[in-house]
Structure 1
Amino acid sequence: MNRGGQLFDQSELQDAIDTGELIAWKKKRYLEFRKTMRDTRYPCHFAVNAERNDSARYLFAGDARDRDALFKVREGLRRYLERYQSIAKRTTLVIFFKPGDRDQSEQEYRDQFWEVIEFLNKRDPEPWPSDIPEDPNDPEWEFCFAGEPMFIVGRAPFYTERKSRYTPYGLEITIQPRRTLDDISGDTMEGRHARSVIRDRLKDYDDITPHPDIGDYGDPNTREWKQYLLPTSNEESLNEFPFEIET
């Protein structure tokens, strides 16, 4: 069983494309991502800058329903977290899953997303950090793996109106370690400005207004996990965390 979890930087991907070594589904996934980040006014300038400045790292995990793919995510994320602080101040891990052989429903994508997160939690190589609450209903809770708190964003084909979360070819998960965002937290001037800019861009980019669950980490009225894989409509919300966190 291949559990390598190989990480690519931009030059390695381009070289693999140029030499024909990057197989078709991986090439299609990455080129679509690059087009979104470079050729549109994608709202999150942190993600855009990570792609343009070669501070993103990329992982191709296979089919999200495949246990082998889940082990690749675990190993790739572990490797990324070991070295992310040497990449850049702002860095992102982008995880591409292989497109299925048939169209999938929104619920199937949701199930796959949370199965990935649960798998990581149950096979976490490190104990839960002592400074992060263990209860997802605490406003200062966020997902942790290998001792690192992180912000997670899921993108999928069912987001036809919420275009900032749309990708046409299957599930995609983006991860930013919390330490890369510490200096722009919600209570800093730079952080407030950055979030204001992103929200203004969201209004122009999406065909639906920003979801009410989008908020700042630590805000008493915000639960960060509700933002991971947003509902398609603004009238819906995830009411309960989907699994029991092991710490």
Structure 2
Amino acid sequence: MTRAGLLFDQPELEDAIETDELVAWKKQRYLEFRETMRETRYPCHFAVQAERADTARYLFAGNARDRDALLKVREGLRQYLERYQSIADRTTLVLFFEPPPEGQSEQEYRDQFWRVLEFLNERDPEPWPRDVPEDPNDPEWEFCFSGEPMFIVGRAPFYTDRKSRYTPYGLEMTIQPRRALDDISGDTVEGQQARSVIRDRLEDYDDVAPHPDIGDYGDPTAWEWQQYLLPTSNEESLDEFPFEIDTE
């Protein structure tokens, strides 16, 4: 256990690897993530910077099918949201799930991803924030937990062409609190520049064009939750939010 409870920072992870204190699957997951983030071609500048500047925090959750793993995610996310503002202006939480013992289908990964969010929503320690719409079909809606709205990205082995969302070993989720992104929103000059650079890099990095559902928070033509776990094909889109949000 680290000074941040369930969460690791980068020096703690590297020390655990050097001293052989990290079990094989955890070491494998982090080293693959680190190598990806440190590639100069990786499209998301903010993700790369969080890894290089040690402003990311990491949680190893276990098997996504297990209730104990989901409870660990709940507690780890709560710990992170409690202290993220003291880490840096720009920070992210990376959730690694243990690789499944055998291959999984794309649908199984999708079911697990949304089950994680449903589990968190069902066991949210705080009521839904008053300033965030309760309807997922409102363009200003986004997932909330412990009173904090956040942007979520899922990576998984089935993204063989959409390489920016690909990881070979199992489900992975990155979470960024909305407050850490407010100064680079789509209506700011810095935010528009950053999105332009990321979109250009996506076209070079991925073997498929950027998905048409990728858009800016608050854009009336885009819903953030459609971007959480993108379809593999640009002809597909998630038309209905996968579960009923509890806002009590």
Q: TM-score, normalised by structure 2?
A: 0.97
Q: Distance in 2 between matches of 1:164 and 1:217?
A: 20
Q: 1:31-53: per-residue Cα shift (whole Å, max 9, x none)?
A: 00000001341111110000000
One-letter code aligned to 1:132: V
Identify the residue that residue 181 of structure 1 maps to in structure 2: 181
Identify the residue that residue 190 of structure 1 maps to in structure 2: 190
Q: Distance in 1 between matches of 2:73 and 2:41?
A: 29
Identify the residue that residue 120 of structure 1 maps to in structure 2: 120
**Is 1:201 matched with 2:201?**
yes
**Is 1:85 matched with 2:74?**
no
One-letter code aligned to 2:235: E
Alignment of structure 1 residues 51-200 onto 2, 5 Å: 51-200=51-200
Q: Distance in 2 between matches of 1:96 and 1:164?
A: 16
Q: Which runs of 5+ in 2 are unaligned?
A: none
Q: 1:246 to 1:5 in 2, by over 3 A?
A: farther
- The offset of 1:5, in angstroms, is 6.8
Specify the SS of the correspondent of 2:38.
Answer: helix
Q: Distance in 1 between matches of 2:130 and 2:152?
A: 20
Q: TM-score, normalised by structure 1?
A: 0.98
**For the aligned residues, what is the CA RMSD?**
0.9
Q: Which runs of 5+ in 1 are unaligned?
A: none
**Is 1:229 matched with 2:241?**
no
Q: 1:154-177: per-residue Cα shift (whole Å, max 9, x none)?
A: 000000000000000000000000
CA contact (8 A) 1:65 1:112 kept: yes
Q: Distance in 1 between matches of 2:166 and 2:91?
A: 21
One-letter code aligned to 2:238: L
* Percentage of pairs with the same residue: 82
